[in-house]
Amino acid sequence: MFAIVLLLGLTGVLPASARGGTPPEDPLSRAHIEDLPQEVRGSIEHSTRACGAGFAARHFFSRYIQDRVTGDRFIAIHFDEVYCVNRAALCTTAGCLHQVYVSKGGPYRAILNVYAQEIELKLLDGAAVVEISCGETAGACARDFRWDGSHLHLLK
């Protein structure tokens, strides 16, 4: 038995448990959606109805940040990180749908829906900022919005 395991080990053909690791996470999975708060899931399912039954998300579909000034929690949803048969349901020439949700300790509520190449959640002096990028022409439409505890405001 030892010789078989040694031979398999030399060829690199060992199960993950024998190598001391765990199997890699499924990169495209409904679990990335199902792990979100119920109110966010409901909104996502509404936005993705046109995708059909094959809708699934990659690991970076949702990203999180907490405002250090207000303590509010944010979730950014990146629809460019999904598998959708009808891609036009979620993406345009401006980019794919991105949504931002906030929780002040209770249920999450949507505060931003935008079609863009990318959005990023950041902290600026401890306050949450949403940076919107438009790709190669980012200078023409790049925007940063700062959270004031109740609304996003355009930074100048």
SS3 per residue for 38-74: HHHHHHHHHHCHHHCCCCEECHHHEEEEECCCCCCEE
**Are 104 and 72 in contact, with CB atoms under 8 Å apart?**
yes
15, pLDDT greater than 80:
no
Residue 140 has pLDDT above 60, yes or no: no
Which among 58, 56, 66, 143 is positioned nearest to 102, based on CA atoms?
66
Q: What pLDDT is recorded for position 73? A: 97
Rounded mean pLDDT, 11-34: 58
Mean pLDDT, all residues of the chain: 81
**Rounded to whole angstroms, how far apart are CA atoms 2 and 55?**
45
Report pLDDT for 21: 54
Q: Is the dihedral of CA 14, 18, 20, 23 positive or negative?
A: positive
H-type alpha helices, 1-144: 2-11, 31-34, 38-47, 138-141
Instruction: Please tell me whether the overall predicted TM-score, pTM, comes out greater than 0.85 for this model.
Output: no
Among residues 140, 138, 93, the alpha carbon closest in space to that of 120 is found at 138
pLDDT of residue 137: 53
In percent, how much of the chain has pLDDT > 90? 49
